[in-house]
Structure 1
Amino acid sequence: MKNQKIQIFDTTLRDGEQVPGCKLNTEQKLIIARRLDELGVDVIEAGFPVSSPGDYTSVEAISKLVKNASVCALTRAVKNDIEVAAQALKSAKKPRIHTGIGTSDSHLKHKFNASREQIIERAAEAITYAKTFVDDVEFYAEDAGRTDNEFLAKVCSEAIKAGATVLNIPDTTGYCLPEEYGAKIKYLKENVIGIERAILSCHCHNDLGLATANSISGIINGARQIECTINGIGERAGNTALEEVVMILRQHSKLGFDTNINSKLLSDTSKLVSESMGMFVQANKAIIGSNAFAHSSGIHQDGVIKNRETYEIINPADVGVTESSIILTARSGRAALAYRAKKIGYELTKLQLDIVYQEFLKFADKKREVIDQDVHRIIEMSKVGLLA
């Protein structure tokens, strides 16, 4: 049975760029947008055009550049926002306007001082107006994670009636547990009138470290689009990480889902975004961290050398990493030392390895990591003992 296609909505250039100190200029955004298009994302959220002249210029330039993906612009449920976004998207082959409004009781009371009926009316008016410019309109119910499900279903039903093609269900504060978020998507799938005419979309934040888990739970329960960023960057603790959801769906093929992402470009794309934004990726970051395929424990090293799948569920080549790394430390065993020695030209016998290993341990206890140059030195020092 063929896997169902999950759309990848990349918001690196919009939500991701909201990180303090990570501002990109138009030229940098164009380089990243070109790479995202090559990567195979379905939608590129290029920015929030009304927010600044620079953002408008970037969205306009990206619209002219992108060949395959839909280009999306964010707006509030405000007519001027929508008009400016439509103008910026004028050259896009597949333009999408992303408009919406807060729906939780907290937002209604503290942000809008409005009733539920007024919020529904404003949402419908914004969608109807956006439809006069583009066919593809995505509606976001901000803070949907903390919105009462019955009211949320009513808002979504009216959004579809007004012409929304995608319904974005954001866990804006990263509050939901995976089973709660999944249950919310399931409820909407079963109770929104006209849901067969729209796609449900997951937009999860990582305040409790659950963004990826929530997005996968959403997909299992009926959503068909994931909104995410490269390296999981974004407001506060960040967004769902694109590389994580893509590889989870690929590794767990039994779920029956996949994406159009060319995973071999993931590592390189991660580096591009990291360098452009000056935001380092933590070494232990899943999929694309520098330690994601690195092994320093002797037991793990021995297993990986014998058969990579012993301790790796992903082939490094599948995400654009050349090979697994065997890192020599005081915790490494003889198998790892022999492996690294062979890589730099030494074929050690068992007797030679036993002698070299004793020297290696003395050296490794003094250094955090033993590099190839150190291995040369250790072997040369040990050869004196062998000859004697």
Structure 2
Amino acid sequence: MVVLADTIGAQLPRACRDMFGAVRAAAGDDVVLASHLHNDLGLGLANTLEALAAGVRVVSSSWLGIAERAGMTATEQLLFLLARHGDELLGAGATPWWTAPDLTRLPKIARRVSEETGVPLGVTTPIVGTGVGTISTGTPFVHPRLFQPYDPAEVLGIEPEVLLTQMASARVVTAVADRLGHRLDPEQTRAAMAWAKTRAFRTSTAVVDDTAFAAYLDGLTRTTRTSR
């Protein structure tokens, strides 16, 4: 086995592909190639995929990408891609495991790793981040397949959660109000949407919490009933 490493995380994908391709051609089929690629330029995963395309069959990764400096290829991201796009990445008929991984376990394992290590899960962390499955705009209500590349509930077991933010549309406001037990008419919906956007900008907090919105809706619907 020959391990090729980018321990400073400086390689670009083209250079990585050329490096592994050249060694693969020179080493012959009896040599197993392995990769160990860091993520200082945010290219650890892309470079690992290039290495796999060049014939590497042993890769280094770590949960949440935990490693020195900016870390390395994240295990959960690599597993997800191999499970969902194995034929494209490894070639048709490739068998990277005896039993395919249960992707619904990825978020649970990631949360456990986060708890044990103190490394937080970010809102925008792919696959296992706290923002996966959240909805804050109207697009998924109208064109769900244009909103995300996979269904988090079906693939990862993450149920969708509608969040009220400064980007709220009428559909988002209606959905959150329904969850809180309020049925709004069009006029109330417009008023609630304006309130949510104003509050988010005034408090410099993107997400309007349910408690504050519920209190506002109580007053809104009570005032509307009284005026009628």
Normalising by structure 1, report the TM-score.
Answer: 0.51
CA separation of 1:188/1:339 partners in 2, compared to 1, >3 Å: closer, same or farther? same
Structure 2 distance, partners of 1:364, 1:370, is: 6
Which residue of structure 2 aligns with residue 220 of structure 1? 53
Structure 1 distance, partners of 2:209, 2:13, is: 42
User: Structure 1 residues 175-184 or 363-372, which shifts more?
Assistant: 363-372
How many residue pairs match? The answer is 217
Identity %: 23
**Counterpart selection for 1:379 from 206, 217, 222:** 217
CA separation of 1:319/1:232 partners in 2, compared to 1, >3 Å: closer, same or farther? farther
Kept after mapping to 2: 8 A contact 1:360/1:378: no
Kept after mapping to 2: 8 A contact 1:202/1:226: yes
Which residue of structure 2 aligns with residue 190 of structure 1? 25
Q: Offset at 1:366?
A: 3.0
Deviations 1:81-133 (A, max 9, x none): xxxxxxxxxxxxxxxxxxxxxxxxxxxxxxxxxxxxxxxxxxxxxxxxxxxxx
**Counterpart selection for 1:267 from 98, 103, 107:** 107
Task: State the 4+ residue runs in structure 1 displaced beyond 6 angstroms.
Answer: none
1:175-186 equivalent positions in 2, closer than 5 A = 175-186=10-21
Deviations 1:333-388 (A, max 9, x none): 11111111122222323233234334434434434121222222121111133220
Which residue of structure 2 aligns with residue 19 of structure 1? none
Which residue of structure 1 aligns with residue 190 of structure 2? 354
Structure 2 distance, partners of 1:175, 1:356, is: 49
Which of structures 1 and 2 has the larger relative contact order (alpha carbons within 8 angstroms, sep 6+)? 1
Kept after mapping to 1: 8 A contact 2:83/2:101: no
Kept after mapping to 2: 8 A contact 1:294/1:327: yes
1:117-128 equivalent positions in 2, closer than 5 A = none
Q: Aligned-residue CA RMSD in angstroms?
A: 2.3
Gaps of 5+ in 2: 91-95
Name the aligned partner's letter for residue 131 of structure 2: N
**Counterpart selection for 1:206 from 12, 28, 39:** 39
Structure 1 distance, partners of 2:56, 2:73, is: 15
Give the SS at the match of 1:376. Answer: helix
More strand by share: 1
CA separation of 1:177/1:350 partners in 2, compared to 1, >3 Å: closer, same or farther? same
Give the SS at the match of 2:29. Answer: helix
Kept after mapping to 2: 8 A contact 1:294/1:326: yes
CA separation of 1:229/1:319 partners in 2, compared to 1, >3 Å: closer, same or farther? farther
1:48-87 equivalent positions in 2, closer than 5 A = none
Which residue of structure 2 aligns with residue 157 of structure 1? none
1:304-383 equivalent positions in 2, closer than 5 A = 304-317=140-153, 320-367=156-203, 368=205, 369-383=207-221
Q: Offset at 1:251?
A: 4.3
Kept after mapping to 2: 8 A contact 1:263/1:318: no
1:141-156 equivalent positions in 2, closer than 5 A = none
User: Rg larger in 1 or in 2?
Assistant: 1
Structure 2 distance, partners of 1:277, 1:359, is: 39
Kept after mapping to 2: 8 A contact 1:267/1:319: no
Give the SS at the match of 1:366. Answer: helix
Name the aligned partner's letter for residue 133 of structure 2: F
Which residue of structure 2 aligns with residue 238 of structure 1? 71
Name the aligned partner's letter for residue 322 of structure 1: I
Give the SS at the match of 1:289. Answer: coil
